[in-house]
Structure 1
């Protein structure tokens, strides 16, 4: 701003920050939100869990998702004007932050499901003992409904984060094509992405089956079938890793 501007009483708006700097700041904020989400998610199902804590968890999830979308848009804009290369360190840092956030969201969803199963089992036991009061039943039903809504919201967030990661992979492949990369490398990259996705789903199924086994009433038949499911899922994971190694 010049001396003439001061005399005229005009103020120029500050120049916008460079896109690489904006994206780097967004990556830092995503890491911060992921750490906060992990801490809040670990409190689910413990004496620390309160309605206020669940409200903070929902707000933090919404803010983290907003940051992820905004930073992704800034990264795309940087790719378009060639200020940020698709395979640059900044792009890889953003992808790492997104994967961390996705992992934390999956962890929160698993905790929500585990607590929901415990609530359902508790309600069933109270009904069987005929010690289920009307007020208590209403309160428990409200908590269950809130938990179901939370699980649906986390599922939506995870789907959105998966979509952003998919766009990153497509951008990286397009950059390889522009630079004359071989088709084999692209195919290998796609195979790795699909293998990683399949492995992630298999691991989630193992975690979900383990949670069901811990929360549900134990009977010889159900225990045997759950163990078979776990063994099959673990075998699937090992097979996938062997395919990748070979």
Structure 2
């Protein structure tokens, strides 16, 4: 920083501004260069592609595979897996989940199902509001609360217009200021946020061959400062981590069928 006695006023102001920038970066979970802190997802190849893991204090968008206004369980499942990783890496704090009401096109996230994926439901706060505008407001307020680990909001198809872009920019700014990570969930494929989210994922359910663990075909369509990618992964709730799906993974988990003993076998 130099000797204050030999610094002019401009130099001292520059040093003070640099110090303030470093403090703001620490509060946002970034380094002085603005690089985001990251949460490893537990799979080496995926974490390397992401630059060390999922960026914290940023907004991430997850879209589903449906082509109409239908709720998509794969979106809920993948989001829940990411929340499990966030909570395991955090020293404390909860998740704020801003839900949409159940309607003729589908229901809400099911608590027992989320718990089955390893999500600690005691650390999840569900919020119901009247409409999407209030849901955006609740999500923004949650992102400004440093006591939270993450904020998730369920939304319908993207609405065109400047108002939507401004709302999404406000979410991104709130996340970067507090260091709280945000997620936008949209079930409709191809419908993405107007703003520049940090990452955008497309999630599709994949055949599991009878394996009860969720298997997803993931497409990373956008990554700030990185490249798109694609993986076929499954979620191992017992370990709380993602793993690459292949036939060996299925065979190692599915129990062999037991053979019913015939009368001759029993007598032997």
TM-score of the superposed pair, with normalisation by structure 1: 0.26
> Comparing both structures, which one devotes a greater share of its residues to helix?
1
> Comparing both structures, which one devotes a greater share of its residues to strand?
2
The structure whose Rg is larger is 1
